[in-house]
């Protein structure tokens, strides 16, 4: 057992097995939102690592191939953006206002809620990029001097919760326009949310990709400035 756990491909095999199994279960049960494959796989991998006593550093090293693929995967999600490009330009004023409002609300809410609970400044810094797609969040972690593992966890949790609850909340709010639904999910649940709404329609996927990319660009500029207030 020790030989298996210490194998350099243990983490990779565990991650792929957990995700493929979770995907099959998700399809078999009718794709329930609460059993999103990313969420189930994350919980499963975390539990196995805890039981086997594998450190995060060792796990991260064994899945370095997957980490390298995050960038190309994010770029691939932006492909539907090409189809929505002309419509996006026509709506440029509304898009820019939305980005400013979303960024302000995201940062203000994060700081206010964590501050109210007396959370340490280093945790606040790690939570700031939570609405930015993971590859960008990792880059931001270095520039704002936040703990990369914590940034990744908070970003993934934010994306999963957004992908699960976002479309349902938009439905309750009677938001039917594919552009509005896609953009809202993209700026809040980044890549994970975009992968979810691509299934709704190509138009929603394109606008979600736009929201994800544009939010990442704006946050890359704004968050290092905000982080200075917390020792970053």
**Number of CB atoms found within 10 A of residue 89's CB:** 9
DSSP letter assigned to residue 128: G
Q: What is the maximal distance between C-alpha atoms in the chain?
A: 59
pLDDT of residue 74: 65
pLDDT of residue 16: 92
pLDDT band per the 50, 70, 90 thresholds, residue 47: very high
pLDDT of residue 21: 94
**Number of CB atoms found within 10 A of residue 125's CB:** 25
More confident residue, 80 or 63: 63
pLDDT tens track for 137-187: 888 888 888 888 888 888 888 888 888 888 889 989 999 888 889 999 989
Cα–Cα distance, 150 to 156 (Å, whole number): 10
Cα–Cα distance, 153 to 160 (Å, whole number): 11
Cα separation values, 196 from 19, 89, 155, 166, 203, Å: 15, 24, 16, 10, 13
Q: Break the chain into its structural domains and give their ranges.
A: 1-62, 83-230
- Among residues 47, 63, 82, 65, which one has the least CA distance to residue 7? 63
Instruction: State yes or no: pLDDT of 78 exceeds 90.
Output: no
Instruction: State yes or no: pLDDT of 79 exceeds 70.
Output: no
Mean pLDDT of all residues in 200-213: 84
The 3-state DSSP class for residue 8 equals coil
What does the mean pLDDT of the chain come to? Answer: 84
Q: Is the pTM of this model over 0.85?
A: no
Which range among 10-24, 54-68, 97-111 shows the weakest confidence by mean pLDDT?
54-68
């Amino acid at each position: 057992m020790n030989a298996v756990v210490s194998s350099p491909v243990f983490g990779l095999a565990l991650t792929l097995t957990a995700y493929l199994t979770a995907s099959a279960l998700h399809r078999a049960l009718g794709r329930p939102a609460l059993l999103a494959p990313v969420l189930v796989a994350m919980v499963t991998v975390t539990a196995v690592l805890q039981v086997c006593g594998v450190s995060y550093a060792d796990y991260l090293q064994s899945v370095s191939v997957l980490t390298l693929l995050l960038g190309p995967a994010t770029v691939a999600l932006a492909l539907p953006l090409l189809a929505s490009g002309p419509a996006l330009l026509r709506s440029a004023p509304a898009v820019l206002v939305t980005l400013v409002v979303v960024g302000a609300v995201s940062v203000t809410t994060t700081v206010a809620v964590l501050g109210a609970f007396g959370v340490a400044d280093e945790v606040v810094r790690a939570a700031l990029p939570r609405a930015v797609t993971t590859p960008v969040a990792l880059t931001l972690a270095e520039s704002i001097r936040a703990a990369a593992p914590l940034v990744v966890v908070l970003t993934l949790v934010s994306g999963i919760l957004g992908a699960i609850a976002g479309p349902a909340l938009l439905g309750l709010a009677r938001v039917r326009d594919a552009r509005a639904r896609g953009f809202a999910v993209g700026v809040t649940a980044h890549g994970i949310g975009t992968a979810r709404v691509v299934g709704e329609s190509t138009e929603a996927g394109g606008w979600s990709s736009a929201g994800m990319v544009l939010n990442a660009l704006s946050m890359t500029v704004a968050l290092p400035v905000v982080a200075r207030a917390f020792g970053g």
